[in-house]
């Protein structure tokens, strides 16, 4: 069985190492800078279950490769070729919910990934299936996914459940890129984390954002409805002045005494990951009992895994680690979702 994994371009070796932990005999072949074809002799169900259980950090998405087709770069002919191959592998019944997720390394000039998604989607809608369109708040993991990747003139197709792809969407960057960014791109990093980790934010009570400037994460939390304490010696974007539920403290968080604990603490400081971990342990008493925290750990140019594990070891003194992932909107960093132990 073959699969296609995707990852941040600088973390190929880390992603491949995660595959090796699941199957030492797996054969790898780089397809593009951000993706590699995996060939395994393991049973498909066994391989995917092992991979999910291992909770990979650097593999962002995986899709099965069950069919290939050579394209002509003629729109109508190619779309029909792709549909014919999809029919061979799809097992959709009426009322099944599905999503078509297509990627192309470059446009043909005749059609693009969206054209493929629409063409296949309309066909299966006509068969009585329900198309689900990806967006940043969708967290349905019981849907069927038709994955399509076009590299040069070769089209790769796979059919699977979204939960077996490690991620609902193959490319959150494409999805969230259409969202208006009012402060900075870091907003989408937090939005993706909330969706990926299925964080149910009630939007009630108090939230603390450490290292807040210029205010991207602060804005996301305020938009959810939290009373946000934004801590950073630097300035926040002046557009946040209109938010009555944001209070900016231009100081270090250690110098501030808060009256009430926070139900959520976020931190996106650009410091060594071990320093971030130690800092979060120093301020964990500001987090409510069993409250949640979302942070980033900035990674060095080498020994990334060692840095992550050393940082997590420190964090585990005060937090339960719920998830660690190099998200689509992360580059040389990972996002950690955790819960206060006390």
**CB-based burial, 282-308: b 16+ in 10 Å, e otherwise:** ebbebbbeebbbbbbbbbeeeebeebb
Position 167 pLDDT exceeds 60:
yes
Region of poorest pLDDT, from 81-85, 167-171, 202-206, 234-238: 167-171
Q: The tokens of 45 are what?
A: 């169900």
| Last residue in a domain, options 137, 171, 205 | 171
> What is the tally of structural domains in the chain?
2
Question: Could you read off the pLDDT of 268-277 as tens digits, one per residue?
Answer: 999 999 999 9
Per-residue tokens: 16: 């491949």
Read off the CATH number of the domain in which 183 is found.
3.40.50.150
CATH classification at residue 62: 3.30.2130.30
Last residue of a domain, one of 119, 142, 171: 171
Q: How far apart are CA 88 and CA 92, in angstroms?
A: 11
Evaluate whether 232 touches 212 at the Cβ level (below 8 Å). yes
Does the N-terminal peptide bond of residue 214 adopt cis geometry, omega within 30 degrees of 0? yes
Beta strands in 71-137 (DSSP E): 97-104, 130-131
Print the domain residue range for 322: 179-340
- C-alpha span between 99 and 119 (Å, rounded): 12
Half-sphere exposure of 286 (CA within 13 A, CB side): 22
**Which band of pLDDT confidence, cut at 50, 70 and 90, is reported for residue 168?**
confident
Same domain, 97 and 23: yes
Tell me: do 161 and 200 sit in the same domain: no
Cα(305)–Cα(321) distance, rounded to whole angstroms?
16
Where does the pLDDT of residue 70 fall: very low under 50, low under 70, confident under 90, or very high at 90 and above?
Answer: very high
Q: What is the mean pLDDT of residues 143-171?
A: 93
Residue 136 pLDDT: 40
pLDDT for res 319: 98
DSSP 140-170: --SSEEEEEEEETTEEEEEEEEGGGGTSS-S
In Å, what is the CA distance from 157 to each residue of 100, 104, 115, 263?
Answer: 11, 12, 15, 43
Residue with tokens 């395994």: 40
**For 127-142, what is each residue's pLDDT tens digit?**
999 998 755 444 556 7
Q: Which of 155, 171, 187 is the last residue of a domain?
A: 171
- Name the pLDDT band for 174 (thresholds 50, 70, 90): low
Both 148 and 240 in one domain: the answer is no
pTM value is 0.92
Q: What's the average model confidence in pLDDT over 36-59?
A: 98
Measured CA to CA, the distance from residue 318 to residue 306 in angstroms comes to: 20
Same structural domain, 71 and 196: no
């Amino acid at each position: 069985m073959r699969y296609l994994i995707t990852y941040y371009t600088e973390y190929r070796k880390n992603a491949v190492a995660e595959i090796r932990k699941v199957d030492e005999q797996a054969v790898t072949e780089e397809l593009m800078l951000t993706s590699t074809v995996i060939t395994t002799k393991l049973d498909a169900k066994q391989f995917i279950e092992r991979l999910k259980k291992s909770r990979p950090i650097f593999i962002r998405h995986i899709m099965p490769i069950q069919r290939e087709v050579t394209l002509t770069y003629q729109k109508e002919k190619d779309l029909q070729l792709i549909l014919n191959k999809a029919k061979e592998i799809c097992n959709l019944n009426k009322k099944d919910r599905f999503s078509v997720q297509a990627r192309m390394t470059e446009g043909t000039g005749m059609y693009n990934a969206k054209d493929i998604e629409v063409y296949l989607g309309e066909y299966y809608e006509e068969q009585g299936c329900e198309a689900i369109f990806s967006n940043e708040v969708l967290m349905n993991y019981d849907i069927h996914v038709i994955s399509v990747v076009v590299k040069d003139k070769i089209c790769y197709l796979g059919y699977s459940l979204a939960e077996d792809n490690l991620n609902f969407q193959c490319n959150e960057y494409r999805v969230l890129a259409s969202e208006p960014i009012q402060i900075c791109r870091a907003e989408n990093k937090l939005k993706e984390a909330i969706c990926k980790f299925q964080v149910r934010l009630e939007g009630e009570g108090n939230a603390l954002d450490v290292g807040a400037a210029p205010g991207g994460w602060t804005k996301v939390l305020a938009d959810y409805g939290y009373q946000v304490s934004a801590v950073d010696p630097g300035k926040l974007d002046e557009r946040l002045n209109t938010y009555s539920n944001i209070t900016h403290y231009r100081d270090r968080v250690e110098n501030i005494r808060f009256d009430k604990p926070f139900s959520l603490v976020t931190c996106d400081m650009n410091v060594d990951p071990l320093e971030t971990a130690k800092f979060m342990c120093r301020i964990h008493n500001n987090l409510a009992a069993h409250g949640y925290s979302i942070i980033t750990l900035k990674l060095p140019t080498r020994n990334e895994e060692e840095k992550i594990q050393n940082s997590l070891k420190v964090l585990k003194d005060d937090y339960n680690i719920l998830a660690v992932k190099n998200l689509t909107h992360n580059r040389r960093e990972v996002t950690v979702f955790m819960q206060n132990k006390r």
